[in-house]
Amino acid sequence: MNIKKYIVAICGASGSIYGIRLIKALIEQPCHLMVIISDGGLRVLEHETIFNGQSSFKDFLTLEGAVFHESSTLEVFTQHEACAAPASGSFIHNGMAIAPCSMKTLAAIASGMADNLITRSADVCLKEKRPLILLPRETPLNLIHLENMTRLCRAGATIMPPSPSFYTFPSTIEQLCDTVVARILDHFGFEHNLVQRWNWQEQ
């Protein structure tokens, strides 16, 4: 089987649940997943979830209800591991998502400042024309944020603000977040049944 490879980065913006739900959805099907957590991402993860950095990230995912597919593999990196595979264009993968993406990381990628494993991997995606999906989290947005997003969109990234939908009547925070995660998976070309798809006749 040709296992698909994905990169998921978690930055220090609020909404680490989006990254966790995405990782959970990917890892439950056959894939090779590379997770990169920035220093800021770790701080927010520890603040917003039960992750405390003491136990392994895999154990944390299990506590979050992830059921690993027997053919799935997971590698976890810090932003400092700049020599890891995603930093090289010779490493072929099926896409990278930064979920959530801080304004700082957004700005770094928009200006080509590839100074850590996340910004370098994103830079590589753009130069190699591989899918790069950013979930920028900030509100309100200033002109610098908006211009950085425009610049990244022009360079080939997909700007996907984590704006959940309500028409499927999600009843938990997880279900609400999955309406966004489902769109990332769609853009990755990853089959899933995470949310009910819109069909007016069935409403």
Ligand X SMILES: Cc1cc2nc3c(=O)[nH]c(=O)nc-3n(C[C@H](O)[C@H](O)[C@H](O)COP(=O)(O)O)c2cc1C
Closest distance between ligand X and the C-beta of residue 116, in Å? 7
Residue with tokens 């769609």: 186
Q: How far apart are CA 153 and CA 193, in angstroms?
A: 28
Closer residue to ligand X (CB): 20 or 44: 44
CB 185 within 8 A of CB 25: yes
Residue 41's H or E segment, with its range, is helix 39-48
Closer residue to ligand X (CB): 112 or 189: 112
Closest distance between ligand X and the C-beta of residue 113, in Å? 11
Residue 110's H or E segment, with its range, is helix 103-110
Closest distance between ligand X and the C-beta of residue 106, in Å? 7
Residue with tokens 């680490």: 16
Binding positions for ligand X, rule: CB under 6 A: 11-14, 38, 40-41, 43-44, 47, 102-105, 137-138
Q: What residue type is assigned to position 107 of the chain?
A: A
What number of other Cβ atoms are within 10 A of residue 29's Cβ?
A: 15
What number of other Cβ atoms are within 10 A of residue 106's Cβ?
A: 28
Closest distance between ligand X and the C-beta of residue 197, in Å? 29
Closer residue to ligand X (CB): 78 or 196: 78
Closer residue to ligand X (CB): 4 or 104: 104
